[in-house]
Amino acid sequence: MNWGYKILMVIVLFVLGMGTMVTIAMKQTNEMVDDQYYLKELKHQELIDASDNLNSNEGTIVVSQPLDFIKISFPEKVSENISEGTITFLRPSDKSKDRVIPLVIDSSGEQMISKSKFITGNYTMRIQWKNNGIAYYDEQPVFVK
């Protein structure tokens, strides 16, 4: 085999490889985590302030997974008098798996959520609530087992 055929083979393999890459890239879905990201960006300072409210009260939200539940524990200072709130679980790989759950904390400052609502994998948990008229916000990654 002379050098002309070798060059031809390299060019053919390169074209086939590029065609394969283009085909794979066209099959990928590119979903955004938030649909209305621009509007949410404008309200971002409110989220920063709400997150600072949580941090200034020396509180952290603890997420654990006993058995078939996701247990979310809130600090006592920020969960005494909740008027409204939601917990949003965002699935980065598939928007259809996102879950929004109303915030209903029991007397011990915890909320239990059944894992049956989720599939195994990574989620971003966003919690927003108001306690005595003060807004609070927390965001953290959660791996549902």
**33-50 confidence digits (pLDDT tens):** 666 777 777 777 888 888
**Residues above pLDDT 70, as percent of the chain:** 96
Mean pLDDT of 65-90: 87
Indicate whether 73 and 21 sit together in one domain: no
What is the per-residue pLDDT for 38? Answer: 73
Indicate whether 7 and 51 sit together in one domain: no
Q: How many domains does the chain have?
A: 2
Indicate whether 69 and 126 sit together in one domain: yes
Q: Identify the residue whose tokens are 């309200």.
A: 43
What is the per-residue pLDDT for 34? Answer: 66
Indicate whether 48 and 77 sit together in one domain: yes
Indicate whether 1 and 63 sit together in one domain: no
Indicate whether 46 and 113 sit together in one domain: yes
Indicate whether 13 and 59 sit together in one domain: no
Indicate whether 15 and 61 sit together in one domain: no
What is the per-residue pLDDT for 32? Answer: 65
Q: How many CB atoms lie within 10 A of CB 100?
A: 10
Residue 86: CATH number of its domain: 2.60.40.10
With vertex at residue 134, the alpha carbon angle to CA 128 and CA 139, rounded to the nearest 5 degrees, is 25
What is the per-residue pLDDT for 41? Answer: 73
Indicate whether 128 and 61 sit together in one domain: yes
Indicate whether 67 and 127 sit together in one domain: yes
Indicate whether 65 and 81 sit together in one domain: yes
Mean pLDDT of 124-140: 90
Indicate whether 53 and 105 sit together in one domain: yes
**Domain residue limits at 97:** 37-144
Q: What is the mean pLDDT of the chain?
A: 87
19 Rama sector, left if φ>0, alpha if ψ -120 to 50, beta otherwise: alpha
